Amino acid sequence: MKLTHYTVSKYALISLQILVLVFVSPLHAKAPQKIQIQTVIDEAYNKFSQQNPGKNADYIPALAKVDSAYFGLALVTPDGKIYTKGDVDQSFSIQSISKVFTLALAMEEKGAQTILDKVGVNATGLAFNSVTAIEQNPARSVNPLVNAGAMATVSLLDGSNDKAKWSTLAAWYDKFANRQLSVLQDVYKSESDTNSHNRAIAELLVSYDRFYGDVDLNLDIYTRQCSVAVTAKDLAIMASVFANNGVHPLTGKRLMSSDNVARVLAVMTTAGLYENSGQWAYQVGLPAKSGVGGGIIAVSPGQFSVAVFSPRLDAAGNSIRAQQAIDYIAEQLDANVF
Ligand code: DON
């Protein structure tokens, strides 16, 4: 057969495609990405492990006793790969990070409109335990990530008694973590003994008809949810459901609707780091949520979830090293959603 110019270039093109498929995609596109994520996690750890500014939360006495040297980073991709560095198996209390998972359950049970109408979704711009935030808003509207809104969200959950409500909530958290979590009893007791400020907030909401059940019962459930023991690895796995549009990357099961995922991420963007949320969005550009136990989760939709644990906090109650590490990781992985 006489090879025409056309057939030569056709064969050349097919060979090139085969070369690309066989060699470039599996070896040169996927493998470096895997190496690159681990490199970035290692770099973030090394960059910030020698400095540890801030101070542990101490208004809950048990938190002051946590070793402030802990530093753990975990990242999960939607295909279920887990990258870790440092103290990623150390348990600590989930604290306010619990609020996003409780919000997710309330949305699934009651619908997104109920949260908008009965709790509110605007950022308060004030501290997480602010009474002023309630007082200055004529509708007494807050958001589900500050203490007032989080307790109101708990009060909306299904369950006629303490046992029923807690078992549903605990099972919900377990589904996200893909394992059975437990409560850190010392933190639960310590916070229960000292939570008169939260009780005052709940009572204030009752006075404005913005609390939807018994104060004792719902305050107790809220306190228990904040005392759930998690590791940085657990949190990255839990947050991976938000990064994967509501489907758990490790089980393939859908836990929540993609509409509700979008709404949870919206509230995380505007209020996840309280009065510092604007600066965080400006600088890092990822929906995130902090807890006074020292954890922070952040979500890059469709790309990854990341969790960092480091107990020392800034004045707003956000872990300083966790913010630094996530800022670095987001920048290196070009993850800013904006
Ligand atoms: O209710 C509280 O004050 C704590 N259980 C949770 C506060 C918290 O984690 C604020 N986050 N940065």
pLDDT one-digit tens code per residue, 145-201:
999 999 999 999 999 899 999 999 999 999 999 999 999 999 999 999 999 999 999
Distance CA 218, CA 318 (A): 25
Q: Is the CB of 147 under 6 A from ligand 1?
A: yes
> What are the C-alpha distances in Å from 108 to residues 97, 141, 158, 172, 248?
18, 21, 11, 11, 16
Mean pLDDT value of segment 193-222:
98
- Confidence label for 27 from pLDDT (cuts 50, 70 and 90): very low
Q: Is the CB of 187 under 6 A from ligand 1?
A: no
User: 273 CA to middle of ligand 1, Å?
Assistant: 11
Write down the pLDDT at residue 5: 44
Whether 307 contacts 241, CB under 8 Å? no
Q: How many CB atoms lie within 10 A of CB 303?
A: 18
Q: Is the CB of 291 under 6 A from ligand 1?
A: yes
User: 56 CA to middle of ligand 1, Å?
Assistant: 12
* Ligand 1 atom nearest to 273, measured from its CA: 12
* Ligand 1 atom nearest to 293, measured from its CA: 9
Distance CA 23, CA 92 (A): 44
Q: What is the DSSP letter of 84?
A: E
* Ligand 1 atom nearest to 313, measured from its CA: 12
User: 11 CA to middle of ligand 1, Å?
Assistant: 65
Closest CA to 330 of 75, 82, 87: 75
Closest residue CA from atom 1 of ligand 1: 147
Q: Is the CB of 317 under 6 A from ligand 1?
A: yes
- Confidence label for 259 from pLDDT (cuts 50, 70 and 90): very high
User: 332 CA to middle of ligand 1, Å?
Assistant: 30
- Confidence label for 35 from pLDDT (cuts 50, 70 and 90): low
Model confidence over 82-116: pLDDT tens digits? Answer: 999 999 999 999 999 999 999 999 999 999 999 99
User: 209 CA to middle of ligand 1, Å?
Assistant: 23
Mean pLDDT value of segment 206-226:
98
User: 96 CA to middle of ligand 1, Å?
Assistant: 5
298 in helix, strand or coil?
Answer: strand
pLDDT greater than 70 at residue 135: yes
User: 77 CA to middle of ligand 1, Å?
Assistant: 27
Q: Is the CB of 295 under 6 A from ligand 1?
A: no
Contacts of 307 (CB under 8 A, 6+ apart): 73, 74, 75, 232, 233, 234, 235, 236, 238, 239, 295, 296, 297, 298
Write down the pLDDT at residue 34: 61
Q: Is the CB of 190 under 6 A from ligand 1?
A: no
